[in-house]
Structure 1
């Protein structure tokens, strides 16, 4: 028996662009979990934070801080 898990998408999800690169900031949760933060590049490479966030705003703030401090290149994989 498989359980169908329904994800709740945050309205704060957005794209972030810098230096000709663009990534998607995805923030989502289930009814029973905290907010999950995932940054996905155009090649579908993703970086997911291990610990959930209490609010979707906390997750977005973390994503924007990480992108500004580490640079978008840290979240873009190689394309072959």
Structure 2
């Protein structure tokens, strides 16, 4: 028996963020009926996913931009030194 693929909803707030010649993909998504997940992916493919879900996609975007501002774009990349932390 074949299982159905879950329906993933991508937020309209997902976007590319660019600063100092570096870019990050801010990915905000959820399964139908679930809360929002936040993931930031660097140019080198390093992914940082927040453990806790968000009640709204706007809140997830706010937290993403705040984390980038506080930690710096390079902190989400393997090229920035240490492996990114879990948020």
Q: TM-score, normalised by structure 1?
A: 0.90
Partner Cα distance (2:63, 2:48) in 1: 13
Root mean square deviation of aligned Cα: 1.1
Deviations 1:10-69 (A, max 9, x none): 001111111111000000000121000000011221000000000000000000000001
Structure 1 runs, 4 residues or longer, greater than 6 Å off:
none
Match of 1:15 in 2: 16
Q: Does 1:74 align with 2:79?
A: no
Partner Cα distance (1:43, 1:77) in 2: 7
Q: TM-score, normalised by structure 2?
A: 0.83
Deviation of 1:3 after TM superposition, in Å, equals: 4.2
Partner Cα distance (1:50, 1:2) in 2: 26
Match of 2:85 in 1: none
Corresponding pairs, count = 78
Unmatched segments (≥5 aa) in structure 2: 80-87
Deviation of 1:6 after TM superposition, in Å, equals: 1.5
Partner Cα distance (1:21, 1:27) in 2: 20
SS in 2 for 1:25: strand
Match of 1:43 in 2: 44
